[in-house]
């Protein structure tokens, strides 16, 4: 199906992503990530991940050649493609991507040298609070990129606006773990989980239909961003919100509900002092979630159809 996985540096010279997408008109944007492109040409397989001036692609040889010609025609200067192999790793998005075929084909993504910049916080210095925020940001970058084991601890310390010495000591434990485990990273194997409905046609053929997703959110601002298409100034949330808005628009995400903060069990993962909903659900095998707001899309769509029909009737009578 595909011939190689490669990386290419592209100099857009101030051009927008929209202009790049226009040059690569055979790509469609994934609803899960606006920077994740999928080839629409049946004869040419391709999946492209865009990161600022880097693109990582899993493509067929035919599509790779087609892209090179399109880049040249559109005037996008680009370096020669680099290809991933057992003997050659790729530097992509600040990390190192390696390929192994010892037992099975595996991809490993590790940090490059960001952990070398981590320093433990000296609580005896007057500026330890500034160091706290600085080192927490460095650790969060590494954890989000390739070491998710540290995400929970770092998300908890990020919520402390005025750290004390005990907070700094807790952060030091996580920073030391990151420094001691520089070689750890994400390992990707050829395994896929699909959530869907299976429709069996015969013993040798079946069809999988996707299931509509549901989202419960305890943040009013994030809820409004999705159902009312409002915007946010939080840069770290922008791409996620755009992806959720697109999924909601095409009904991959069918329902979005605004829930009471105390009923959100995810607090147990992201907060140092969470609510008791997760613990209660484990003890009782039940989860009670109270709603504060939701959108009845079917009722809204029926009303829109009625309004359109009424407009047509009034136009024809006039």
Tell whether 53 is covered by a domain.
yes
pTM above 0.75, yes or no: no
| Rounded average pLDDT over 51-69 | 77
Q: Which of 183, 178, 180, 176 is nearest to 121 (CA)?
A: 176
Give the pLDDT of residue 84.
85
Structure tokens at 170: 């807790």
Q: What Cα–Cα distance (Å) separates residue 103 from each residue in 106, 132, 190? A: 9, 42, 12
Give the pLDDT of residue 55.
78
**Domain containing 269: what range?**
213-301
Tell whether 200 is covered by a domain.
no
With bands split at pLDDT 50, 70 and 90, how would you rate the model's confidence at 31?
Answer: low
DSSP category for residue 31: T
Tell whether 24 is covered by a domain.
yes
Q: Please state, for a pLDDT cut of 90, what percent of the chain lies above it.
A: 17
HSE on the CB side for 27, CA within 13 Å? 28
Number of structural domains the chain divides into? 3
How many other C-beta atoms are found inside a 10 Å radius of the C-beta of residue 118? 16
Write the CB contacts of 49 (distance below 8 Å, at least 6 apart in sequence).
Answer: 35, 36, 37, 55, 56, 57
Out of 83, 101, 130, pick the residue that ends a domain.
83
- Residue range 132-153, pLDDT digits in tens: 999 999 999 999 888 989 988 8
Q: What is the CATH number of the domain that holds 39?
A: 3.30.310
Give the pLDDT of residue 22.
62
Tell whether 140 is covered by a domain.
yes
Tell whether 205 is covered by a domain.
no
Tell whether 91 is covered by a domain.
no
Tell whether 95 is covered by a domain.
no
CB 271 within 8 A of CB 264: no
């Amino acid at each position: 199906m595909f011939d190689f996985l490669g990386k290419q540096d592209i100099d857009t010279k101030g051009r927008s992503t929209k202009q790049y997408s226009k040059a690569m008109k055979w790509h469609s944007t994934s609803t899960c990530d606006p920077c994740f492109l999928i080839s629409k040409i049946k004869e040419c397989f391709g999946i492209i991940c865009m990161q600022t001036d880097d693109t990582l692609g899993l493509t067929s040889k035919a599509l790779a050649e087609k892209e090179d010609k399109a880049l040249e025609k559109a005037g996008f200067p680009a370096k020669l493609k680099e290809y991933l192999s057992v003997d050659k790793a790729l530097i992509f998005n600040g990390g190192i991507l390696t390929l192994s075929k010892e037992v099975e084909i595996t991809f490993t993504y590790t940090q490059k040298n960001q952990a070398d910049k981590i320093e433990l916080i000296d609580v005896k210095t007057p500026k330890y609070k500034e160091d706290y925020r600085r080192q927490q940001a460095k650790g969060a970058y590494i954890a989000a990129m390739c070491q998710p084991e540290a995400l929970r601890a770092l998300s908890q310390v990020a919520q402390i606006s005025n750290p004390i010495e005990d907070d700094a000591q807790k952060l030091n434990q996580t920073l030391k773990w990151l420094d001691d485990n520089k070689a750890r990273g994400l390992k990707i194997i050829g395994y896929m989980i699909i959530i869907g409905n299976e429709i069996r046609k015969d013993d040798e053929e079946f069809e999988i239909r996707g299931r509509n997703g549901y989202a419960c959110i305890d943040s009013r601002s994030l809820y409004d961003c999705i159902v009312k298409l409002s915007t946010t100034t939080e840069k770290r949330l922008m791409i996620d919100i755009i992806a959720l808005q697109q999924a909601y628009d095409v009904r991959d995400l069918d329902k979005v509900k605004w829930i009471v903060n105390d009923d959100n069990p995810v607090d147990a993962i992201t907060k140092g002092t969470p609510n008791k909903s997760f613990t209660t659900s484990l003890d009782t095998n039940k989860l009670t979630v109270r709603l504060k707001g939701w959108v009845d899309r079917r009722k809204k769509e029926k009303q829109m159809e009625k309004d359109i029909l009424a407009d047509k009737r009034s136009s024809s009578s006039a």
